[in-house]
Amino acid sequence: MKPSPNLLLIGIDSLRRDHMSLYGYERLTTPHIDRYSAGGVTFEQAFSPSVPTTSGYGSMFTGMDCFGTDVVALRHKGGLGEHLTTLAELLEASGYESTCVGFQGNPASRGFRNYLQYEGWGSAAEGQSPKAERLNEVAIPELKRLAAGSDPFFLFLRHMDPHSPYLPPTPFMRIFYDGDEFDPENDSLKPVYEFAPFADYFRSWFPEGVTDKEYIIAQYDGAIAYMDACIANIFETLRSLDVEEETLVVITSDHGETLHDHDCYYDHHGLYDCTLVVPLVFRLPGVVPENVRVSDYCQLKDLMPTVLELMGIESDIAFDGRSLVPRMHGRRREPEPEFYITEATWMRKHGWRTPEWKLIHALEPDFHFKPEVELYNLIKDPEEYINLADSEPDVVAMLEKRMQKHIRRRESETGRTNPMYTNLDWHGKGTGPFTSSRQAYEALHIGDRNVAQKLQAGEKTKE
């Protein structure tokens, strides 16, 4: 028995919560995670309010909001600020050995002792891509090595299967689809092929001639199911090594995914809930209660303080997030039902979300030619398709006022300007803010999947 619990953090990139059977999805996409999660606590309203990857993991690994991290953009310039202590840094200082699998080079990955890589994308020549099996080939030997050591360990696994390109191996590519994906009478993918910024990228991994959007969505679901089957191998390894009882397992995601929603095709941009809401599960036998589901709102910034409390590790860090442990045991924790939301992926927008309302305010024109202001009633219109900004100007004004008050408060508390206002080259084009949607549309282009992979890794590319 090690002196402190181990930590296994499973971060699943682009995992959309409402496509998990754990959260009631009609397709059985996550049976192994469902079963494993029953031994712990599942949070039903967890949010990643600052998308995408770099800002999402930045919050997860520091316990801070975007004002605290000063990170909002996928293409964040430089590393994390020296004012921050990452979870890996803190655990290393507490006697842990830490390993990061599949996330080297991202600013949010700072502080691990060991970095291991695997092929998380796949080439065009390979076709279907066994991403999770490749992760297991690296992660399972490392898990065995860490478990055999005398020090407690922190192992972070960054899964990529739900991230496009969606390429689950056989038989997962067809377990949720029995139609004709090449039906010439089906034109549901026509607008996808007509969206010039992404069309070349999609053609690099869509089967040639595919016409049915339901086939692409089934590939996403199949990728989740395939990954879930591979994660079962991780769970089994924990059991076989006899360390399951002394290992805190956390399952979450950096953000969700847009499929055929809101014209934000097969990506993770747009401040809609399909992108903001993420899974969050904690399991540690004897410490985390079993078979508990919590419906309170929480955010990725709450993960680090929760992990530290569960593991009995003290810190003098003034986190923006707060521990979720009280809610695990049915005790009161003051809710945070409304919060600031940001995006600097392919559009630069921010907004304010309450249980009833969602305000989205563009800080520059976007490449989807969307209106500057969007307002949605989340109770009457949970899928966010009816923009009420013009018909409810008083609600827009009220939410804008609350958002600006929050911005001023956090700027004062941190002594820094809102990073949404300072990251003006968030797109990496060197042009500053876009002045028109047409300019954005013509500038933002993904080529093949190799270009997309470099963008995800933060590398500069020439097109």
Segment 243-268, tens digit of pLDDT:
999 999 999 999 999 999 999 999 99
What are 435's two structure tokens? 């002045």
- CATH (one of 3.30.1120.10, 3.40.50.300, 3.40.50.2000, 2.40.50.140) for 339-457: 3.30.1120.10
pLDDT in tens, 107-138: 999 999 999 999 877 654 566 889 999 999 99
Check if 6-328 and 339-457 are the same fold.
no
**pLDDT class of 454 with cuts at 50, 70, 90:** low
**6-328 belongs to which CATH class?**
alpha beta
Q: How many residues does the chain have?
A: 463
Percentage of the chain exceeding pLDDT 70:
95
pLDDT in tens, 282-323: 999 999 999 999 999 999 999 999 999 999 999 999 999 999
Q: Where are the domains of the chain?
A: 6-328, 339-457
Q: Is 117 helix (H, G, I), strand (E, B) or coil?
A: coil
Residue-level pLDDT at 457: 55
Distance CA 273, CA 384 (A): 8
Max Cα–Cα distance, the chain, nearest Å: 64
Beta sheet of 292-299, edge-to-edge order:
114-116, 97-101, 153-159, 6-12, 247-252, 277-283, 41-47, 292-299
Residue with tokens 């563009």: 362
Element (DSSP H or E) covering residue 99: strand 97-101
pLDDT in tens, 325-340: 999 999 999 999 999 9
**pLDDT class of 462 with cuts at 50, 70, 90:** very low
Q: Which residues pair with 9 in a beta bridge?
A: 156, 250
Task: Write the CB contacts of 427 (distance below 8 Å, at least 6 apart in sequence).
Answer: 75, 346, 348, 434, 443, 444
Percentage of the chain exceeding pLDDT 90:
90
Q: Whole-model pTM?
A: 0.95
Distance CA 379, CA 76 (A): 34
What are 299's two structure tokens? 């955010």
Distance CA 121, CA 361 (A): 33
Distance CA 340, CA 354 (A): 9
Nearest CA among 223, 252, 351, 226 for reference residue 53: 252
Measure CA 303 to chain center.
Answer: 13
User: What does the pLDDT average to over 199-222?
Assistant: 96
